[in-house]
Amino acid sequence: MKKIIWVIVVLVVGGYFTNSYLENKTARKVEKAEAERIEQAAKSAVAQMVSQTNAVDDWVSHLSKGEKFRSEPILTVELERLWLQNRPILFIGSVSDIATQDQSHYMISVENNLSSSIMFDTELQLSLVADKVRIDSFLNRNPDLFKEYGFNNGVAVVARIKTIRTAYISGAEGAREEVKIGEGELVDIFYTGDILF
């Protein structure tokens, strides 16, 4: 009789853990499928934004020369050739600041972040004049934009760059780091979250 009880207990416990494992596996599959759907939808929306604005979206690969990481400094003349065109550029990054420019415009700062599949030793940023109504609407649609700074706040920006300047900041261990800043106007913006491009 004790053996039967032990067998029943083992079967019940084993069944519980098997069922729990299968439920977790199914939930992970559903989560993964949903994450892939969201990623595809975001990439499709960004591609549509690039198409509608005729934006240059391959400048990153030109700067990286086909590598995943570029350690040598980026020269301003390189960015001038790629950014100062009759066409706007696509910039993947994160919003680092928004300030009032005047009654109808903000100055929005966008910096490169971890959502790019290519890394540069030289930091790249944009400083863009943007319509207040557009940015307020964007912020209302994405209220969590600044809550997980650096991890879930990616944006795709289409911008018309007019000038490029160089600034220097104090980096890790007090080292002087160069920042190239493209100045111009915002054409379009889309929230990408933590999606890698």
User: What average pLDDT does the chain have?
Assistant: 85
* Per-residue confidence (pLDDT) for residue 34, from 0 to 100: 76
Q: Cα(25)–Cα(37) distance, rounded to whole angstroms?
A: 18
pLDDT at 20: 67
DSSP summary character for residue 114:
T
User: Residue 151: what pLDDT?
Assistant: 65
Identify whether the C-beta of residue 171 lies closer than 8 Å to the C-beta of residue 177. yes
pLDDT value of position 145: 81
**Rg of the chain, C-alpha, whole Å:** 23
Cα 60 to the center of its chain, rounded Å: 14
pLDDT of residue 155: 92
Provide the pLDDT for residue 69.
80
Q: Are 97 and 109 in contact (CB under 8 A)?
A: yes
Residue type, 96: S
Going along the chain from its start, the domains and CATH numbers come out as 55-193 (2.40.50)
Q: Provide the pLDDT for residue 150.
A: 54
pLDDT of residue 22: 61
Cα–Cα distances (Å) from 122 to 9, 34, 87, 119, 156, in that order, read 63, 35, 23, 9, 20
Q: In this predicted structure, what is the pLDDT of residue 80? A: 95
pLDDT of residue 173: 74
Q: What is the pLDDT of residue 160?
A: 97
Low-confidence ranges of the chain (pLDDT < 50): none
- What whole-number distance in Å separates Cα of residue 166 and Cα of residue 176? 12
Is the whole model's pTM more than 0.85, yes or no? Answer: no
Distance, CA of 148 to CA of 95 (rounded, Å): 12
> Is there a contact between 160 and 139 (Cβ–Cβ < 8 Å)?
no
* 112: nearest Cα among 47, 181, 49: 181
